[in-house]
Amino acid sequence: MALFPLFVKLDGCRCLAVGAGPIGESKIAGLLEAGAVVRVVAPSATDAVREWAAQGRLTWVQRRFIPSDLDGAFLVVAALPVGDDLTSVYEEAQRRGVLCNAVDDPPHCDFYYPAVVKRGSFQIAISTGGHSPALAQRIRQELEAQFGQEYESWLADLGRVREALFATAMDPDERKRLLHELASRHAFERYRAGFRPPATDFGPRDRESIPGPTFEAKNPKPGKVFLVGAGPGDPELLTLKALRVLGTADVVLHDDLVPAEMLELVPPGAVVKNVGKRHGAQHISQEQINALLVEYAEAGLTVARLKGGDVSIFGRANEEIDALREAAVEFEIVPGVTAVSGAAAAALVSLTDRRASSAVVLVTAQTCKGNARPDWRAIASTGATMAIYMPGEHYRRVGSELLSAGVDQGTACLVVSRASQLGEVTVETTVGALGSLERLPAPAILIVGEVVRKKNTEDRIQKTEDEIPDSVANAGS
């Protein structure tokens, strides 16, 4: 049977409790807390119920139930052992149209007591429809750990700000947006850190602007910077920790290649700024990024520096780490799925194979800062799979340098563009033919090595089987 969830105002309503033992006492306490006018009918009562009666908080009639006890009642709680008295209470309530709850007897209930997490006016009610109160209690305990006592004062502050907003002439859609922003997870995290939302100073928020803090700080905790790996691009490949950081960030400074779908995970009230540094098209320097990280953190904000792939691989993380350490700003690294791992997964290949290559070398073809070209000959001599980041427009040059380093022109290679994202493209070629390949959109990874030659898979399997001694192969026969 479907139940209709409902929070009911009982202030001033006449409610009857039949039974005043330990179970009845807890039900009576809830009615009193809700402001109900409580009448208790029971031959005996617990010390607490007797005390409430002596204080005038309820009326106790010391006898067994009679039908007229339901006169004028809005609802009745029957905290009695299953039997004739409980059945008679329920049947009489049904005749009079009075809602009845028979404790631990679901067939004789018009409503059920939920397990409740209560933080002032903030309440979460859990019901199993009477099927498993034990499950409801377990979930209540888990939610109590998740929603701490601070929710009571936070909700009170939100109520005051809501009243102020409705007393102000403003666009209804803008008011709605602000109310949702103030109730967001990142706003709560700021509240716990000591920031309090004022009743004024509400204006449009530009996600590409870089405003100062919009909350009043009262002994705030120091800010913190998270260097977060965004993975190859698919939001589902974010780590759980990265997802949590993005969901609570006040500021997100992201690379140019972080997809828009991932930025949708950022709270609507957060400052979101593109600080990408594409080769030949920089609109912000690394020094300016470092300064922004420090500035926001010193303002007491939580900052997510979102970088494609893993932050520790070709992400200039050390330059930002140095700046944060120099400014004594707390920071944390949240690793991500590497770009080359995403590329290999997209191409359905493994970067290592004990039959072909037992090592992987990560190298970049990008030399914007005038860095020396990679020592391809030394790398090739290891026999490792090469994962070449940011091949950009340099396919022909990389191919020529690899050939000059002694790499066979028939060596297999893959270019994987936009791995794990819409528009993903994988092209298989060889080192000799690499120069004739059209440039694929960034981000792209070039993987060089026999592990990526798909058509040779069966040959490698056969070779491995041929190397297995007959004594091992026949062990099970």
Gap between the terminal Cα atoms of the chain: 61
User: Could you tell me what percentage of the chain is helix, strand and coil, using 3-state DSSP and rounding each to the nearest 5?
Assistant: 35, 20, 45
Select which of 118, 221, 241, 277 is catalytic. Answer: 277
- 255 part of the active site: yes
Backbone torsions φ then ψ of 160, nearest 5 degrees: -65, -40
Residue 100: left if φ>0, alpha if ψ -120 to 50, beta else—which one? beta
Which one from 69, 105, 255, 310 is the annotated catalytic residue? 255
CB 33 within 8 A of CB 116: no
The DSSP symbol for 353 reads B
> 């790499």: which residue's tokens?
407
Helix axis angle, 47-54 relative to 22-33, nearest 10°? 40
C-alpha neighbours within 13 Å on the C-beta side of residue 60 = 23
Q: With b meaning 16 or more CB within 10 Å and e meaning fewer, what string describes 137-148?
A: eeebeeebeebe
- Look up residue 167 and give its DSSP letter: T
Three-state DSSP class for 261?
Answer: helix
> Tokens 């290949």 belong to which residue?
349
To the query of whether residue 241 is one of the catalytic residues in this protein, the response is no
Which residues belong to the active site?
255, 277
